[in-house]
Amino acid sequence: PELLVLNPAGSIPIMEDGDLILTESSAILVYLAAKAAPEWLGSGKAEEAARVQQWLSFSGRLTASLGGARLHEMLLRPGDIGALQA
C-alpha cells in the first residue's frame, strides 16, 4: 500500500526529492542529469536531443525485457521467457 501511494502503477524505481515524486526510470534519469550534469542532456541541438531520447528508449526496452525475465526466473511470474529474451 505504501508503494501504491507513491506510484499507483506499482512499479519501481520511484524517486522522492523533497515534495517531488517521480516514477519511470527515464524520467528519473533526465531529472538527475538536469540537476547534476545538464550537459549530459545535450546542447539542445536536434541530433543531440534525439540521441538522448534514443538511449532512453533503448534503456526502456532493456528494462522491460530484462526486468520481465528476472521476474519470471526469480519470482516465478508467468511469462514467455523466449519473448522476454528476444
Ligand X SMILES: N[C@@H](CCC(=O)N[C@@H](CS)C(=O)NCC(=O)O)C(=O)O
**Binding status of residue 25 toward ligand X by CB under 6 A:** yes
Amino acid present at 79: G
Site for ligand X in 43-62 (CB under 6 A): 60
Q: At closest approach, how far in Å is the CB of 45 from ligand X? A: 26
Other C-beta atoms closer than 10 Å to the C-beta of 29 total 19
Binding test (CB under 6 A) with ligand X, winner from 12, 50, 62, 81: 12
Contact call for residues 11 and 22 (beta carbons, < 8 A): no
**In 7-71, which ranges are E strands?**
14-17, 20-23
What SS3 class is residue 6? helix
Stretch that binds ligand X, among 7-15, 36-44, 45-53, 78-86 (CB under 6 A): 7-15
Binding site for ligand X (CB under 6 A): 10-13, 24-26, 60, 63, 67, 71
